[in-house]
Amino acid sequence: MAEYTPSTLPDPARSGSDTSRIFLTGFMGAGKSTVGPLVAERLGYTFIDLDEAVAERAGQPITVLFETGEDAFRALESTLLREVSQQDEVVVATGGGALASETNLSLAQRAGVVVYLRVSVDALAHRLADTATERPLLHDGEGRSLEGAALKERIQALLDQRKLRYQQADVVVDAEQEPEAVAFAIVDALNAES
């Protein structure tokens, strides 16, 4: 895992070295959908929110898709990831668990550069507190959204499950900064690589 500072560049041997496809990964609430359009605008690329594309293709919101089972959602997510990985000049905000699959992560790394937006558990809990009702993975066994310590525990448990994949990103950026600063750090890292 290469953590980006102006003097530390991503390892081209680990990534597809093709900066025409940028895949943003990280936990829900990390800012992928906020930062992605800023990065795309700076690069003159198209922004694609994979979660929105899944919901559009399925014709229903992700919360409804999860009610029929996470496996069906993940299968459609993988299909769309393969499709967008064929496009050039795109910044793709992947869902928080999209690249937790070794197959999906490998696909993204072969196609382009994977950027992990790293955020602490406390910051994620703060960011997600108001939207937990819209996020099925942040619900208890009875479908109620988690709060407080229970929310932090769930976030930590999910991060622990995904940590190995997140750490395999080509570039790691501290995403607790303002979105514009995060976007600048990403573009700076990409420019340095090319």
For residue 86, is it within any domain?
yes
CA dihedral 127, 44, 92, 57 (to 10 degrees): 110
Q: What is the number of structural domains in the chain?
A: 1
What confidence score (pLDDT) does residue 110 get? 95
For residue 126, is it within any domain?
no
Taking only the tens place, the pLDDT of each residue in 33-74 is 999 999 999 999 999 999 999 999 999 988 888 778 888 888
Alpha-carbon distance of 53 to 37, in angstroms, equals 15
Q: Are 18 and 111 in contact (CB under 8 A)?
A: yes
Note the pTM of the prediction, 2 decimals: 0.86
Strand, helix or coil at 116? strand
Query: What is the residue range of 66's domain?
Result: 21-119+165-193
Position 13 confidence tier, pLDDT thresholds 50, 70, 90: very low
For residue 128, is it within any domain?
no
For residue 91, is it within any domain?
yes
**For residue 57, what is the domain's CATH number?**
3.40.50.300
Does residue 176 carry a pLDDT above 90? yes
For residue 135, is it within any domain?
no
Taking only the tens place, the pLDDT of each residue in 76-119 is 999 999 999 999 999 999 988 899 889 999 999 999 999 999 99
- Tokens representing 56 are 């559009």
